[in-house]
Amino acid sequence: MQPMRLTAIKFIFLLSFSSAYANEISNSIVLFDMSLGYNILQALQNNGFFNSLHVHSIYAPTLKNNQAMDKSITITSSLTELNGKSIAHYSLFGIDGKNQQYRLWWQLEQNSSLTEGALLRIVNLAINSRNNTINETLLNDFLYENDINNFAVRYNFENSENAIDEYSALVKISPSSDHYFWRTTIELILLNSFGLINYFVNKDANIVDWEYQPNGEGFKRKILDGWCLDTNNFRTNSLYHIYAGIIYYQTARSNNYGPFASFIWCFAGSTFWEYIGEYREQVSTNDQIFTPIGGLIFGEGLRQLGLYAERNISLGIIRGVICFILDPMRFINRQLDRWFGGEFTFHLQFINPAQTIISNAIIEQLR
Amino acid sequence: MKRKFSHIFFLCIVTTLLFPYFAISEVHNEDVVVSSILSRFEQMLKKKGWYTQKDDFTCKAFRFESDYHEIVAQLSASRKNTLTSFEVTIIKNGNLTIKTFTFKNTSPNYADTAEKIITSHLVSLALQNNGVSPKNPHFTSLSIGYSRTNDNTDILPEKKKGGYYLALSYTYDPSQLTGLEWMRLNFGEFLTINAWAVIDTDPINRNYINENFLNFDIIILGRHCQKENTKHRYRLLYGFFTGMEYFRPGWKDNILLWNHSLYQDQPHIQYMLWRAIACRICSTYFCNYGIYTVNFMVGLGPSINSSLFAVGWDQEEELHRSPLFQSLTGSKQNYYYSTAYPISLSLAAEYLWRFNFTFSYNFYFFYASDPAIRNEKAYDIVHILKPSIGIQLTEKLLVQINWEHWHIHSMLNGKHTSHSWNRFFMETKYYF
């Protein structure tokens, strides 16, 4: 009995080990670079990119390993030449919660800055579909995101019935919210720095308002003295400060913040100027009111007018000049967005079991 | 035999009773699918920031974000034996698309499949960038003309006695395009900008009377209501607004010294106010006999403004002015911090046999509120009356003559003074 009991324990142990392994595989992302010399997925794995998705990733040296992983997400990459350009082609094979097999594929230029952003969006879509159908996930979650600009469906008509062959969507990859936060902060500091240069160029006009020494004691007194109504001229108070507010507001607005958040940023920009920029002067109550409020009211109005001009004027240079005058920070930040972001199109195809065999065979051959 | 007949009879009864149930449930099933598709589509658009309105077979959606986009989706279903066809009609920004989908209603997943495919189709059309709506929510006009400010009753324009007049008027009002009976308006979903400036034709001899005015109003929270029939339409918009208004008689710094002859020759007021909160009602009635509009706004907020008591000083007096005018050193510009209570009312009758008549009245009460000068008991009251008459040359071109009467009443330390002047201007207004 003893040897039999040992064998049984060993069997149970192996079974549990293998099921744990299978479970690990089923919740993993299997990565496979098909083109020799282009190991982008391996490089991303080594950089810890897939760890950020909170799923285990396995770099598969051969396809045979993949075939056993029926519940896993498999991502493949390959490199092709198209019109003299090296194009990276990515495919994601997955199975949704209702056992529907599907393939998501997209193409990017080799070494595109969108590689990680695109992978992140697509892998998240695949992970979320594990508890639902891929259709539902696409329609319910993915398309609610505001960065989908175009969504197309290809239909077929088989056995006198409509069916979907393929979905495709144009996805805009925008910089992250952290990126926008830091960009807004840096831009506001830069704007205040330009203001400071102007302030010291016109030092003679401003020196009359200086009350504090530029040291710790002076700053402490400034804090304790609080705010007061200033005696600057009408134009400074009613035009220059409001213009500064407009620029602060439009800076935040063009960095994807809403009206209220932009108003807060505008107030922060004004506070920074009053405490740090004009560090030798007492903080002005009227400036602290008119700068953010003026920024909100005029800034939002001019932004609206700028968008109106952008959509209704066809001439390139004239439109550019008008838009720059009305909303200069939007003009600048849209250019920056183009540098730090971009667009890509992904396709979703449904795979039936017969197709799976064919596609696996194709992959095997390609390998 | 008798028992067999009773069985057949029983079966017949059951079948007969169940037939209407199946018949009804089949018809009902399509309606359920249609309703379910439209509900899902509506939810999706809502999450993407669209305003929606749905009934049994139609979903209407609007998005305003700095523009106006409209989708109308209509669904109808018809059953023919084992096949059910759904006709999907979508009008997005004026572009019509019709597509028919057919499904086998005997299939166990028929409803799910239909829902999935038709929703995908609706979503794909909704997310396609197919241009800007032909309905324009931006109402812009540009005016050029001639303006003359007089310190007496002489209102007629004379050669070299006035200035060129330029004006811009802009309204962003997408809710009126929706045709909805009512809807809530959020921040920025209605805004108006008015700006005008005068460029002096003889600046040196006339001390640069370059009046300039700017007013921005933006809705914080409001409501749009509309009632319509074949003969007339009534539209009401009301809510809380915030805005800023600015007026100055010149834009050159050096003429703002209060001993400048501009202020001695033509006493003016200058102000910049923030309507922190304002209640505004815009009511418009459209009928065959013209368009009638009533606009009313009342608000309050902090402001900066001048006073007639700071006019006509010589250099010596400048140094001994009231503490109300604080800027003793440096700028020499005499204004005080105040709380403003602006009220405005305008009545307009447009397209009355090509004629437009408008009348507006603006009232401002500026009360000194800087704690340092509260004892000075200062205030300024401004009344501006403005009747206008215009003729609509074409649908986009209006020629108008306007007359403005300004009256200012200033008080400082129990002393009163007042002054009036007129402004006459002719303008040609082009509506874009």
Q: Determine, yes or no, domain membership for B175.
A: yes
Please compute the mean of the pLDDT values over residues B311-316 and round it to a whole number: 66
Asked if A311 and B83 come within 8 Å (Cβ–Cβ), the reply is: no
Are both A203 and A162 inside the same structural domain?
Answer: no
How distant is the Cα of A311 from the closest Cα of chain B, in angstroms? 8
B90 and B59 Cβ atoms separated by less than 8 Å? no
Q: Which residue, chain included where needed, has tokens 């009163």? A: B416
Tokens of residue B243, six digits: 């805005």
Are both B170 and B246 inside the same structural domain?
Answer: yes
Is the CB of residue B108 less than 8 Å away from at least one CB of chain A? no
Among the ranges given (A191-205, B227-241, B391-405), the one the predictor scored with the smallest mean pLDDT: A191-205
**Helix (H) / strand (E) containing A253:** helix A241-253
Q: Determine, yes or no, domain membership for B344.
A: yes
Are both B81 and B148 inside the same structural domain?
Answer: no
> What does the pLDDT read at residue A155?
82
Domain count of chain B? 2
Task: Name residues 373-432 of chain B within 8 A of A (Cβ).
Answer: none
Q: Determine, yes or no, domain membership for B32.
A: yes
Are both A187 and A334 inside the same structural domain?
Answer: yes
CA B409 to centroid of chain Cα atoms: 32
Residues in chain B: 432
Are both B55 and B143 inside the same structural domain?
Answer: no
> What does the pLDDT read at residue B30?
81
Q: Determine, yes or no, domain membership for A12.
A: no
Asked if A151 and B128 come within 8 Å (Cβ–Cβ), the reply is: yes
Sheet containing strand B83-92, edge to edge, reads: B51-54, B58-63, B69-80, B83-92, B95-104
Phi, psi of A327 (to 5 degrees): -145, 75
Are both A219 and A291 inside the same structural domain?
Answer: yes
**Please, which pLDDT band fits residue A154 given cuts at 50, 70 and 90?**
confident
Q: Determine, yes or no, domain membership for B48.
A: yes
Asked if B302 and A289 come within 8 Å (Cβ–Cβ), the reply is: yes
Residue B149 sits in a domain whose CATH number is 2.40.230
Are both B63 and B188 inside the same structural domain?
Answer: no
Is the CB of residue B195 less than 8 Å away from at least one CB of chain A? no
Please compute the mean of the pLDDT values over residues B25-52 and round it to a whole number: 80
Task: Name residues 299-358 of chain B within 8 A of A (Cβ).
Answer: 302, 304, 326-331, 333, 335, 337
**Please, which pLDDT band fits residue A15 given cuts at 50, 70 and 90?**
very low
Residue B306 has pLDDT above 70, yes or no: yes
Are both B286 and B243 inside the same structural domain?
Answer: yes
**Please, which pLDDT band fits residue B155 given cuts at 50, 70 and 90?**
low
**Please, which pLDDT band fits residue B349 given cuts at 50, 70 and 90?**
very high
Of the candidates A161, A231, A260, the beta carbon closest to that of B326 is on A231
pLDDT above 70: percentage of residues in chain B: 80
How distant is the Cα of B255 from the closest Cα of chain A, in angstroms? 12
A155 and A164 Cβ atoms separated by less than 8 Å? yes
Are both A190 and A336 inside the same structural domain?
Answer: yes
Could you give the angle at the alpha carbon of A221 between the alpha carbons of A219 and A224, nearest 5°?
Answer: 110
User: Could you tell me the residue range of the domain that residue B170 belongs to?
Assistant: 138-431
A300 and B220 Cβ atoms separated by less than 8 Å? no
pLDDT above 70: percentage of residues in chain A: 83
The ipTM estimated for the assembled molecules is 0.75
Are both A154 and A185 inside the same structural domain?
Answer: no
A305 and A297 Cβ atoms separated by less than 8 Å? no
Asked if A160 and B83 come within 8 Å (Cβ–Cβ), the reply is: yes
Of A334 and B156, the one with more pLDDT: A334
| Secondary structure (DSSP) of A38-95 | --HHHHHHHTTTGGGGTSEEEE-SSHHHHHH-TTSEEEEEEEEEETTEEEEEEEEEEE
Please compute the mean of the pLDDT values over residues A19-27 and round it to a whole number: 48
Residue A5 has pLDDT above 50, yes or no: no
pLDDT above 90: percentage of residues in chain A: 22
Asked if B116 and A159 come within 8 Å (Cβ–Cβ), the reply is: no
How distant is the Cα of A237 from the closest Cα of chain B, in angstroms? 9
Residue of A nearest to B104 (CA): A161
B88, B105, B127: which is the final residue of a domain?
A: B127
Are both A196 and A104 inside the same structural domain?
Answer: no
Are both B152 and B101 inside the same structural domain?
Answer: no
Spell out which residues of chain A touch residue B253, defining contact as CB-CB under 8 Å: 233, 235
> What does the pLDDT read at residue A230?
78
Are both A285 and A301 inside the same structural domain?
Answer: yes
Spell out which residues of chain A touch residue B329, defining contact as CB-CB under 8 Å: 208, 231
Q: Determine, yes or no, domain membership for B3.
A: no
User: Could you tell me the residue range of the domain that residue A74 belongs to?
Assistant: 28-174+343-366
B340 and B366 Cβ atoms separated by less than 8 Å? yes
Q: What is the pLDDT of residues A189-205, one digit of tens each?
A: 999 999 889 888 887 77
Spell out which residues of chain A touch residue B191, defining contact as CB-CB under 8 Å: 300-301, 304
Spell out which residues of chain B touch residue A226, defining contact as CB-CB under 8 Å: none
> What does the pLDDT read at residue B227?
93
Q: What is the pLDDT of residues B58-74, one digit of tens each?
A: 999 998 877 888 899 99
Are both B182 and B307 inside the same structural domain?
Answer: yes
B168 and B139 Cβ atoms separated by less than 8 Å? no
> What does the pLDDT read at residue A9?
44
Are both B288 and B193 inside the same structural domain?
Answer: yes
Q: Determine, yes or no, domain membership for B183.
A: yes
Helix (H, G, I), strand (E, B) or coil at A327: coil
Asked if B333 and A234 come within 8 Å (Cβ–Cβ), the reply is: yes
Please compute the mean of the pLDDT values over residues A216-245 and round it to a whole number: 84
Are both A147 and A254 inside the same structural domain?
Answer: no
**Please, which pLDDT band fits residue B235 given cuts at 50, 70 and 90?**
very high
Please compute the mean of the pLDDT values over residues B253-265 and round it to a whole number: 60
Are both B115 and B147 inside the same structural domain?
Answer: no
A100 and A353 Cβ atoms separated by less than 8 Å? no
Of B257 and B106, the one with more pLDDT: B106
Task: Name residues 115-154 of chain B within 8 A of A (Cβ).
Answer: 116-117, 119-121, 123-124, 127-129, 132, 138, 140
> What does the pLDDT read at residue A270?
94
Among the ranges given (A302-316, B215-229, B295-309), the one the predictor scored with the smallest mean pLDDT: A302-316
Of B200 and A180, the one with more pLDDT: A180
Please compute the mean of the pLDDT values over residues A109-116 and round it to a whole number: 86
Nearest one of B332, B406, B411 to B366, comparing CA atoms = B411
Are both A145 and A260 inside the same structural domain?
Answer: no
The whole-angstrom separation of Cα B430 and Cα B144 is: 9
Q: Determine, yes or no, domain membership for B80.
A: yes
Tokens of residue A312, six digits: 């209704």
> What does the pLDDT read at residue B333?
63
Residue of B nearest to A145 (CA): B48
Residue of B nearest to A208 (CA): B330
Give the number of beta-carbon pairs within 8 Å between A and B: 145
Q: Determine, yes or no, domain membership for A18.
A: no
Of the candidates B44, B170, B331, the beta carbon closest to that of A305 is on B170
Asked if B333 and A208 come within 8 Å (Cβ–Cβ), the reply is: no
Are both B179 and B278 inside the same structural domain?
Answer: yes
Are both B362 and B427 inside the same structural domain?
Answer: yes
B77, B107, B127: which is the final residue of a domain?
A: B127
The whole-angstrom separation of Cα B361 and Cα B345 is: 5
Q: What is the pLDDT of residues A248-304, one digit of tens each?
A: 999 999 998 989 999 999 999 999 999 988 888 888 888 898 899 989 999 998 998
Dihedral sign, CA of B299, B300, B306, B308?
A: positive
The whole-angstrom separation of Cα B69 and Cα B92 is: 8
Residue of B nearest to A260 (CA): B187
What region does A258 belong to: left with phi over 0, alpha with psi -120 to 50, or beta?
beta
Q: Hey, which of A266-275, A337-346, B249-258 has the most confident mean pLDDT?
A: A266-275
Q: Determine, yes or no, domain membership for A201.
A: yes
Q: Hey, which of B13-17, B20-24, B247-251, B332-336 has the most confident mean pLDDT?
A: B247-251
3-state secondary structure A106-127: EEEECCCCCHHHHHHHHHHHHH
Asked if A307 and B333 come within 8 Å (Cβ–Cβ), the reply is: no
Are both A267 and A347 inside the same structural domain?
Answer: no
Please compute the mean of the pLDDT values over residues B17-22 and round it to a whole number: 50
Please compute the mean of the pLDDT values over residues A207-235 and round it to a whole number: 82
The whole-angstrom separation of Cα B113 and Cα B123 is: 15
Among the ranges given (A102-116, A127-141, A157-171, A323-337), the one the predictor scored with the smallest mean pLDDT: A157-171
Asked if B67 and A135 come within 8 Å (Cβ–Cβ), the reply is: no
Spell out which residues of chain B touch residue A260, defining contact as CB-CB under 8 Å: 187
**Please, which pLDDT band fits residue B216 given cuts at 50, 70 and 90?**
very high
Please compute the mean of the pLDDT values over residues A6-11 and round it to a whole number: 42
How distant is the Cα of A59 from the closest Cα of chain B, in angstroms? 35
Spell out which residues of chain A touch residue B277, defining contact as CB-CB under 8 Å: none
B96, B127, B158: which is the final residue of a domain?
A: B127
> What does the pLDDT read at residue B254?
56
Q: Determine, yes or no, domain membership for B359.
A: yes
Asked if B117 and A290 come within 8 Å (Cβ–Cβ), the reply is: no
Asked if B124 and A153 come within 8 Å (Cβ–Cβ), the reply is: yes
Are both B117 and B142 inside the same structural domain?
Answer: no
Residue of B nearest to A148 (CA): B127
Q: Mutation test of the interface with chain A: which of B333, B334, B369, choosing the one with the most A Cβ atoms within 10 A?
A: B333
Q: Hey, which of A264-268, A335-339, B33-37 has the most confident mean pLDDT?
A: A264-268
Q: Hey, which of A24-33, A323-332, B96-105 has the most confident mean pLDDT?
A: A323-332
Among the ranges given (A46-50, A146-150, B314-318), the one the predictor scored with the smallest mean pLDDT: B314-318
Contacts of B378 (CB under 8 A, 6+ apart): B307, B309, B322, B324, B336, B367, B368, B410, B411, B412, B413
Are both A65 and A198 inside the same structural domain?
Answer: no
Q: Determine, yes or no, domain membership for A8.
A: no
Asked if B123 and A308 come within 8 Å (Cβ–Cβ), the reply is: no
The whole-angstrom separation of Cα A157 and Cα A152 is: 17
Contacts of A222 (CB under 8 A, 6+ apart): A211, A212, A275, A279, A282, A283
Are both A283 and A252 inside the same structural domain?
Answer: yes
Q: What is the pLDDT of residues B182-201, one digit of tens each?
A: 999 999 999 999 999 998 88
Task: Name residues 77-106 of chain B within 8 A of A (Cβ).
Answer: 83, 101-104
Domain count of chain A? 2
Helix (H, G, I), strand (E, B) or coil at A37: coil
